[in-house]
Amino acid sequence: MPDSQDPKQADNNDLRNAQFGGGLINAGTVNAGQIGGDIYNIHLGQQTAASGNSVQSQNQRQRSQSEKDSLEKAYTLQSQKVSNLRTALVIETDVSRKFQYEQQLQSEERALKELVDKLDAIEQQLQTSDFPHSKQVDKQEQLQKELEQERGKLKYEKEIFISYAWGGDSETYVNHLDEVLESKGIAIIRDKRDLGYKGLIKAFMEKIGRGKCVIAVISDRYLKSPNCMFELVQIAKNGDFYDRIFPIMLPDVQIYKPIERIKYIKHWEEQIKELDEAIKGVSAANLQGFREEIDLYTEIRNTIAELTNLLKDMNTLTPDIHSESDFDELSKAIAQRLDE
């Protein structure tokens, strides 16, 4: 610094470069183009890094999608393996082989669950790369809903319902049937166990009517019960009556002669007449629900002749034959139907 310059004052051309360590630099010697180039190079480096991240993200997505495709193929094969084992377990009567099937089935079901967990994890990765957070949450909820619906559909397709009249010999027989099928690994959906407190009875009966497999334990009381006949009519209305129903005819049911079937038609005509007479004594404003009962009785009256005619033509075997064979023929028929 010249002797004439105040040591406390800096030249106008001297600038403190706080960006570069706080030392003094001379403005006249600064290369603005070089600084601009350096700044551009820094920005370009950031862009290059971002571009590299994008390519890396795209590669990761492709790997995840490829892994998902492989897992889905493995899941399809494993599902078929589990289904085949379940069928074999139902059909098999040898105790030792049945035990082997049970052990193998447990192992294959665990493998199937592991595949499901891996698929869920891959799906979440793909969703994260595809969607911003808010959209991702909505998409996850939608996919979860679709997954639950699909699982519900698969479960519905494997459900086995039972339709029967409560009380008496009918319920005693159904209790025995329930126990034997459970010992074979066949779970049936039964109102007393599965409807639940405050469950909607009509909705449950309609579900029975849509079932892929419905065991119907037919008795005299059954053919005279509004609820039982509602279920039977629903089975018929949903189509494939012969394929979906698995009837067992108890000894007290009489449908094998025309005169016997006519008695059931007369029963429902009497029910219609009795309720119709009672309704006439009540104001029309207070008839909510009663007209629906009349309509149900009428529908039963109109269809019972055809339904009993179909039932009498099936070789349903006797209840004793079913019991003595531990419901072997019934089990095989159900397994075959579930695999269709």
Structural element, H or E, at residue 250 = none
Residue type, position 172, single letter:
T
User: Confidence band (pLDDT; 50, 70, 90) for 25?
Assistant: very low
Contacts of residue 322, Cβ cutoff 8 Å, sequence gap at least 6: 177, 248, 329, 330
CA–CA gap between residue 13 and residue 252 (Å, rounded) = 117
CA–CA gap between residue 68 and residue 120 (Å, rounded) = 9
User: Mean per-residue pLDDT for 166-186?
Assistant: 94
46 is a domain residue:
no
Is there a contact between 77 and 124 (Cβ–Cβ < 8 Å)? Answer: no
Question: Which segment of 6-10, 150-154, 162-166 scores lowest on mean pLDDT?
Answer: 6-10
CA–CA gap between residue 316 and residue 338 (Å, rounded) = 19
Model pLDDT, residue 60: 76
- Same domain (yes/no): 137, 168: no
- Same domain (yes/no): 330, 277: yes
- Has residue 279 got a pLDDT over 90? no
Structural element, H or E, at residue 162 = strand 160-163
Task: Quote the number of domains for the chain.
Answer: 3
Model pLDDT, residue 205: 97
CATH of the domain at 183: 3.40.50.10140
Residue type, position 219, single letter:
S
What are 246's strand-pairing partners? 215
- Same domain (yes/no): 179, 129: no
- Same domain (yes/no): 173, 303: yes
The number of angstroms, rounded, from the C-alpha of 317 to the middle of its chain's C-alpha atoms is: 34
Q: For residue 269, how many other CB atoms are within 10 A of its CB?
A: 13
Strands 14-16, 24-26: parallel, antiparallel or unpaired by DSSP? antiparallel
Model pLDDT, residue 39: 43
User: Confidence band (pLDDT; 50, 70, 90) for 201?
Assistant: very high
CA–CA gap between residue 176 and residue 322 (Å, rounded) = 11
- Same domain (yes/no): 117, 181: no
137 is a domain residue:
yes
Domain that holds residue 132: 63-156
Model pLDDT, residue 103: 77
Mean pLDDT of the chain: 80
Structural element, H or E, at residue 116 = helix 95-130
The number of angstroms, rounded, from the C-alpha of 52 to the middle of its chain's C-alpha atoms is: 43
- Same domain (yes/no): 3, 90: no
The number of angstroms, rounded, from the C-alpha of 12 to the middle of its chain's C-alpha atoms is: 80
49 is a domain residue:
no
Place of tokens 């589990």: 82
Model pLDDT, residue 11: 45
Domain end among 156, 171, 205: 156
- Has residue 154 got a pLDDT over 50? no
Domain end among 98, 132, 156: 156
- Same domain (yes/no): 271, 283: yes
- Same domain (yes/no): 292, 203: yes
Model pLDDT, residue 204: 96
44 is a domain residue:
no
- Has residue 9 got a pLDDT over 70? no
User: Confidence band (pLDDT; 50, 70, 90) for 146?
Assistant: low
- Has residue 42 got a pLDDT over 60? no
Place of tokens 């808010």: 134
- Same domain (yes/no): 186, 332: yes
Burial class (CB in 10 A: 0-12, 13-18, 19+), 217: buried
- Has residue 20 got a pLDDT over 90? no
Of the ranges 90-94, 141-145, 259-263, which is most confident?
Answer: 259-263
Give phi and psi for 314, each to the nearest 5.
Answer: -90, 140
User: Mean per-residue pLDDT for 240-244?
Assistant: 95
Is there a contact between 172 and 251 (Cβ–Cβ < 8 Å)? Answer: no
Residue 225's nearest CA partner among 190, 264, 188 is 264
CA–CA gap between residue 98 and residue 102 (Å, rounded) = 6
40 is a domain residue:
no
User: Confidence band (pLDDT; 50, 70, 90) for 136?
Assistant: low
- Has residue 17 got a pLDDT over 90? no
Is there a contact between 79 and 112 (Cβ–Cβ < 8 Å)? Answer: yes
Q: Which long-range contacts (CB under 8 A, 24 or more apart) does 165-172 make?
A: 165/217, 165/219, 165/221, 165/222, 165/225, 165/228, 166/192, 167/221, 168/219, 168/221, 169/219, 169/250, 169/252, 170/217, 170/219, 170/221, 170/222, 170/250
User: Confidence band (pLDDT; 50, 70, 90) for 235?
Assistant: very high
pLDDT digits (tens, 9 = 90+) for 56-113: 667 777 787 888 888 888 888 888 787 777 777 666 666 567 667 777 888 888 888 8
Residue 202's nearest CA partner among 214, 211, 213, 191 is 191
- Has residue 273 got a pLDDT over 90? yes
CA–CA gap between residue 58 and residue 64 (Å, rounded) = 10
Model pLDDT, residue 51: 54
- Same domain (yes/no): 113, 183: no
- Same domain (yes/no): 147, 239: no
Model pLDDT, residue 207: 95
Model pLDDT, residue 113: 83
331 is a domain residue:
yes
88 is a domain residue:
yes
- Same domain (yes/no): 116, 253: no
Domain end among 110, 140, 156: 156
316 is a domain residue:
yes
CA–CA gap between residue 149 and residue 147 (Å, rounded) = 5
Model pLDDT, residue 143: 65
